[in-house]
Amino acid sequence: MRTDLVEQAQAIRAGMRALATSAPDDVLLSTAQAVFDVWAPGEHYDYNQPLTHNGQLYRVAQPGGVDALENQPPDAKGMLAVYRPISEAHAGTLENPIPWVYGMDCHTGLYYSHNELVYLCKADMIPCVWEPGTAGLWQWELVS
């Protein structure tokens, strides 16, 4: 009986992963810890597959997927071409800005919050490695 349950759980998990490649980020965030793989070295992850690492949800951004290496976790420097962080869903308006996360995709005309301030994104930054509020950057305009 236990073998049947394990097989059923694996089938459900595989189905959820397949559905997740087209799910909106807010749906992924609400179910991440219960449903998605925790990043582990030695595993293969498919393109657009969501996974968690250190409490953060990521999508695999590399076409063809990736074989996870111990020295290249999703939050390591230089890994934004492979893994993209997903942040909590917000409208991107002045009243409901998107919380900025290092490496997220930022889009022109949307508002982002960082360090209790709100910024208007003045250019697409995909991925964004420039922290809002950094001196000399025209890509961010402090709003409030």
What pLDDT, on the 0 to 100 scale, is given for residue 29? 66
Residue 6 sits in the same domain as residue 74: yes
Residue 8 sits in the same domain as residue 66: yes
Residue 128 sits in the same domain as residue 140: yes
Contact between 112 and 100 (Cβ < 8 Å): yes
What pLDDT, on the 0 to 100 scale, is given for residue 18? 74
CATH of residue 64's domain is 2.10.10
State the 10-residue block means of pLDDT for the chain, 144 residues long: 65 72 73 77 95 90 95 94 86 94 93 97 94 94 96
The DSSP 8-state label assigned to residue 131 in this structure reads -
What pLDDT, on the 0 to 100 scale, is given for residue 1? 47
What pLDDT, on the 0 to 100 scale, is given for residue 85? 92
The pTM for the full model equals: 0.66
How far, in Å, CA of 140 to CA of 119, rounded? 6
Query: Is 60 buried (19+), middle (13-18) or exposed (0-12) by CB count in 10 A?
Result: buried
> What is the domain range of residue 100?
90-144
CATH of residue 122's domain is 2.10.10.90
